[in-house]
Amino acid sequence: MLCMEEEPLAQEEFLYCCGAATQLLKFGSFDCWLKDGSKNSSKVLFLIIPGNPGIVCYYKPFMQILHKILNRKYPIWAISHAGHCIPPEGMEMVEDIELEDVFGLNGQIEHKLTFLRKNVPKDVKLVLIGHSIGCHMILEMMKREPELQVLKAVLLFPTIERMAESPQGKLMTPVLCKLRFLMYVPIYFLSFLPESVKASLVRWALQGLQSLDEATVSASLNLFSVDCAANAMYMGSQEMMQVVQRDDSTIRWCLDKTAHRTPADPLVN
C-alpha cells in the first residue's frame, strides 16, 4: 500500500540545528510506516548527507526516483550542511550557536549527529546515503556514534582520502585556503542581480551538463549568497587539510556493522 496515490511532493523545512540554519528536504514522513498497513512495518529512514556545497535541492530528482522505486514505503530525507542554504525571510543564518566552529568539517559532522539525536526516534533504523565529502561524514558519524542503528551506508563518489593531492585538489587547495576571501567581493555584487538573471548565469555556467534540470538551477542560486558561499568554501578549505589518510579501520568496522544482519531485517536482500 502506497503512502499516497498521487505523485509525492517534496516538503522543504528550515530549522535551527546547533544554532545554524539548516534545510530539510523530505519525500515522505514517519506517517508512511502507519499508512503501510502492516503491523510489522519496519521503521527505516533514508537520510542523504550531501557533498559540498551541501544544498539539498541538488538531490531532489534522485530522491523522487528513489522514493518511487521503494513504493513510497519509507521516508527519504536530505539534510543540508549548516549555513549552506539561504534561510527564508525572517530567519537568520545563525541563532545562539551551540557548537564551536559549526561551519567547519568537524562541526558539520556533529551537526548531523545532533539532528539525528533531536529529530529521529532511537528505534528508527537508518540507511545513510553519502555523496562526495558526505561519505567521509558518514564514516565519522558511525565511528563517533557506534550505537546508531545503521542498516546500510551507501557511499556515492566517496571523497575519503588525499583530497589535496588530487588534480582538482591541487588547484583548489590554494584557492580555498588562501584566496577564498577574494571571492567574496564579486559574489556580494552578484547577489544584487534579479533572480532571473542569476538563473540565466547558472544555466550558462552549467551548459556543459548533459541534463540540466530546474532543481539544479534553483539550488545553485544559494551560491549567490555571500554567507552560503563563504561557509561552503570554509568547509572546503578544511576538507583539503583534514581528509588525508583513508581510515581503513573505520571502513572495516562499518562494513562489519552493516553486514551482520538477519533475514528479518528490512532491505536485507
Q: Is the pLDDT of residue 260 over 80?
A: no
Sheet hosting strand 125-131, strand order edge to edge: 11-17, 20-27, 76-79, 44-49, 125-131, 150-156
* Whole-number Å distance between alpha carbons of 55 and 84: 6
Rounded average pLDDT over 101-107: 96
Which whole-number Å values give the CA distances from 13 to 79, 126, 219, 254, in the listed order? Answer: 10, 20, 15, 30
Write down the pLDDT at residue 37.
Answer: 53
Write down the pLDDT at residue 30.
Answer: 77
* Whole-number Å distance between alpha carbons of 78 and 56: 6
β-pairing verdict for 11-17 and 150-156? unpaired
Write down the pLDDT at residue 235.
Answer: 98
Which whole-number Å values give the CA distances from 83 to 43, 54, 80, in the listed order? Answer: 29, 9, 8
* Whole-number Å distance between alpha carbons of 265 and 246: 30
* pLDDT class of 6 with cuts at 50, 70, 90: low
Q: Is the pLDDT of residue 103 over 50?
A: yes
For the whole model, what pTM was predicted? 0.90
Write down the pLDDT at residue 41.
Answer: 61
Q: Is the pLDDT of residue 210 over 90?
A: no
Nearest to 104 by CA among 251, 250, 226, 241: 241
Write down the pLDDT at residue 38.
Answer: 55
73-82, 112-121, 208-217, 244-253: least confident range: 208-217
The per-residue pLDDT of the chain, averaged, comes to: 90
**Relative orientation angle of helices 133-144 and 105-119, to the nearest 10 degrees:** 60
Write down the pLDDT at residue 65.
Answer: 94
